[in-house]
Amino acid sequence: MTASSENPFHRSEILFGKSAMEKLRDSRVLLAGAGGVGGYIAEALVRGGIGHLHVYDPDLVHCTNLNRQILALESNLGEPKTQLLAQRLKAINPRLDIAVYAEALTAENIPQILETGAFDYVADAIDSINDKCFLLARAYDLQIPVISAMGAGCRRDPSLVQYSDISKTHSCPLAKNVRTKLKKEYNITRGIPCVFSSESNPAAVIPGAAGERPTIGSSSFMPGIFGLFMAGKIINDLANKS
């Protein structure tokens, strides 16, 4: 057998080097959210050689997920995303150490999870701004490397997706809300890496009825691009970790 047939990460090892792949295999990543962005983060991390992954997401697959979420199929509507994700990722790498939790990350459970998990990186793909900011602030305080997804909805131009510190984001309502909340409630103005789009298309929203969230238009490709951007940053940072 050739080296490439014996080692599923042979091509990655050629690119990153053996020691970097050993670092990735030993790294522990916490992923918050397994939806449109989070599903692609998880997929790329595992195919990239990450050896330990903890995933939190309370949702079931819904028919409206079919246009953009890597886990969503007609055949698995109504099933827990975390369960499906674990099955898929173990099928990619049976040696993967994965723990999935069909629950949301909140102010109640984030402190204990972060302080006892010994994570090397946190990937934030949470929709709830309160939980999102609490997770980012806690990771920041504990000096755990983190990267956060800003708004992938309402966007159609892949060329405008970019990395940025949260302090330099613009043209994104979600990023503006995150900046405001981090500054007001946690006294954090910079130091949170994120992926955002500078494209502005606020018309792609249908207002919700009283007490309901608005419906945000989305494409098949933008959430995946955000997720792959985030996975790329995580893999490069962990591979280069001294």
Looking at 3.10.20.600, 1.10.1660.10, 3.90.230.10, 3.40.50.720, the CATH number of the domain 17-239 comes to: 3.40.50.720
Of the pLDDT bands very low, low, confident and very high (cuts 50, 70, 90), residue 208 is confident
Query: Which residue type occupies 189?
Result: T
Dist CA 81 CA 71 (whole Å): 7
Q: H helices within 28-127, ranges in order?
A: 36-47, 81-92, 110-117
- Give the pLDDT score at 1: 46
- Give the pLDDT score at 128: 95
Q: List beta partners, residue 100.
A: 55
Q: What is the mean pLDDT of residues 2-7?
A: 68
Of the pLDDT bands very low, low, confident and very high (cuts 50, 70, 90), residue 4 is low
With 80 as the cut, is the pLDDT of residue 2 above it? no
- Give the pLDDT score at 3: 53
- Give the pLDDT score at 212: 76
Q: pLDDT per residue over 159-177, tens digit each?
A: 999 999 999 999 999 999 9
Strands 193-197 and 205-206: unpaired
Helix (H) or strand (E) holding 206: strand 205-206
Of the pLDDT bands very low, low, confident and very high (cuts 50, 70, 90), residue 215 is confident
Long-range contacts of 228-231 (CB under 8 A, 24+ apart): 228/40, 228/41, 228/44, 229/161, 229/163, 229/195, 230/37, 230/41, 230/123, 230/125, 230/147, 230/149, 230/195, 231/40, 231/41, 231/43, 231/44, 231/45, 231/48, 231/123
- Whether residue 199 contacts residue 156, with contact meaning beta carbons closer than 8 Å, is answered with yes
Q: What is the mean pLDDT of the chain?
A: 95
The whole model's pTM is what?
A: 0.94
Q: Which of 112, 108, 146, 145 is nearest to 130 (CA)?
A: 108
